[in-house]
Structure 1
Amino acid sequence: MSEIKSFSFTKQIVESTKLSCRAVTKELSVYTAWTTAEVVGSGVVGAAKILKQGVVDSANLKKLQNGNFDVVHFSPIKSDKDRHFNPAIITPEGREYIRMNGNPLSYANVWEHLDKQKMLLFPKGDTAWVEVVDEANVGNLHFMATFDHSIVDITGRLVPTARTLGFANDGYDLEKACKVLAANPEVEIIPDRRGRIIRFIPGYNATEDRTLEMQVRWMPGAETWEKMLKGMDSLRNRNGSKVLRLGDYDLLSEFDVLGLEAAGCRVERRDEEL
């Protein structure tokens, strides 16, 4: 029986970190840190990999420049125990796609399109932020929270986002609503698979007064969005944080983003009469 012979080899590997940063405002900078590994004496250097990147203020930039990567990334709205914001780059084309098609945090097809077209980039990707963000396009920096699906820009302003809204004949005159919405350039009426604009509500969801419904996609224009934001300024969650997402009822009734209330499409519900 042959003898087992074992051999061991040791290679000394040096890991290097490169930091690049760029000022995008007076107080903020983007940075990218790369790491490379080299086998000593071999001349072989591995490909650079992105270690970490993001947006920081001047105090945290100094920490990075001193080799301390335990930094706090900038967020225009303070995160809390419920809502945490993560940075992202959204191109102008990406923002328009979101305005027309909906929130990527809500719709997988929107996310997939933005990702495929490189309209939505995250720090963990392979694109170096320091190479694609500067003072001229700092408006592409955004912050997203999965808690309430809010997307804000570097100033904390909500990004215009399409919403699918549904309402029924227990609250609205649907025939009249169809005429009003057909003339609204911010609205796309969504028919069912049979092409019906006003469709029957399935029996298990219907009530005596609620038998018909319709759905629309609201693609907010600048004036409507601005009016809605002004109305939201004073709204706060239970923990005191700013409300960044409205429910369907608030959008339709209190904020009347579709103009149905103003056009007299609202009908009294029986529970409102009591």
Structure 2
Amino acid sequence: MASGSNVAPIIIKRKKVVSGDGHHGGAWKVAYADFVTAMMAFFMLMWLLNATTEQQRAGIADYFSPTIPLSPISGGGDGAFGGNDIFAEMTLPKNGIGASQDKSTEGDMARGDVGQEGQAKDTEAFAAVEEALLGQSGESDAHDEMLRHIVTRVTDEGLVIEIFALEGAPIFEEGTAEPTAMLRDLTEMLARVFRIVVNDVAVEGHVRARPLVFEDNPIWTLSAGRAESVRGLLQGSGLKSSRLNRVTGHADREPIVENPMSVRNDRVEVILLRSGR
């Protein structure tokens, strides 16, 4: 009777479940998140390098220093909590380290900031030079044609006086370090103006890029030769040699305009350095 029963047989179906498949796991998400975080930190670093001054970068570096310095260097801010140094010469002191102009060291005011008084003197000196150079007082010796070749700007390094070439109006003979008559007049004027201040002077030569690649590219020697030529003109016009801090050539490595072959990149920068530089 049992063999003839109409009851359907019971079938047990076992399903194998596989988890953590390499193609469908979540480990890649963790790796991707780490990558995105690292890229965000990298771009923040690039932004900080471009958006901050040298003093602010020094303050940021001090903040992340693994040890606590005995003589704090500086802070990244500029307010009441900007990281003023309590170890400086004044009671509520300046930013930075080193000596002030009142108490200079053997290293000529060391390597730090010269204090608010020194900064104020530099600001006054730069303003006086710009006024005399650009003729804001109406007493400048430079005429309009010469002033077309001059641009000034104040940087962390000092007052940069840029003398540049224009189309059809070079400042050196083509491909040489021989100055034109106009550049001789300009450097003579600079030497006279620099007598009203005592800051040191630096000269930097720059040239435009060449359209061809030479095995022995002459732009390095050319830029250095042009800087040396301007140094000689300044010194020959009465600038004391003791005030000349450095003479350098930068070839075409620091173009001032986007097109590296533009004639505007043929220039000489005469820098009136800040005190203590």
TM-score when normalising by structure 1: 0.23
More helix by share: 2
Larger of the two Rg values belongs to structure: 2
